[in-house]
Amino acid sequence: MQAGFAVSLLVTAFAVAMDAVAVSITSGMARGRASWREALAMAGTFGAFQALMPAIGYAGGAFFRDYIEAYDHWVAFTLLALVGGHMILESRGGDEAQRGNPFAIRKLLVLGIATSIDALAVGLSLAMIGFPPAISVAVIGLATFLLCLPAVRLGARLGSAFAHRAEFAGGAILIAIGAKILIEHLSGAA
């Protein structure tokens, strides 16, 4: 595995996980003090959805790759920029009130889907640039799990400002990765 690939994949995984981390922090804040069981349930749900969605996106990207290979770098850049921009806009919003128990199974499933929609587009982008699918989805899912687990437990201590900053940073990183892909392809470096 090339060092550049590994770094890009890790940075992408951490960036994509930031919205799930932000929700984990605010859920921990809403609960006051979450148990390890609740933290494991949320981190496991988010990690699973963050792995599943890029797998679906990757399958779509692999199917369409032959049709759009000449401009796949533009597709990857556009998707990553849109997802990153959306994350930045969401980070600028006010604190949303959590209604009900964020650790209830139904709420976890809804939050898992909501926080992983961007990972679908990232999976499509990964297919366009040729990242290996199994390693990519495993790293994204595991990174999300490992980041969300302590985020739930420490949410009350960290405060809501951190959640918004994490989501902003994740969005900015995705845009930067998209720009790097575009620049490399346009300059002939890739």
Confidence of residue 171 (pLDDT cuts 50, 70, 90): confident
Average pLDDT over residues 10-36: 83
| C-alpha 169, offset from chain centre | 11
Please state the pTM of the whole predicted model.
0.71
**pLDDT tens digit sequence for 81-117:** 887 787 788 777 655 444 457 888 988 998 888 888 7
- Percent pLDDT > 70 in the chain is 83
Q: What is the pLDDT of residue 72?
A: 67
DSSP conformational letter for 70: G
Q: Which helix (H) or strand (E) holds 159?
A: none
Q: What is the pLDDT of residue 25?
A: 84
Going from N- to C-terminal start, the domains of the chain cover 3-187
Nearest to 53 by CA among 153, 161, 151, 127: 127
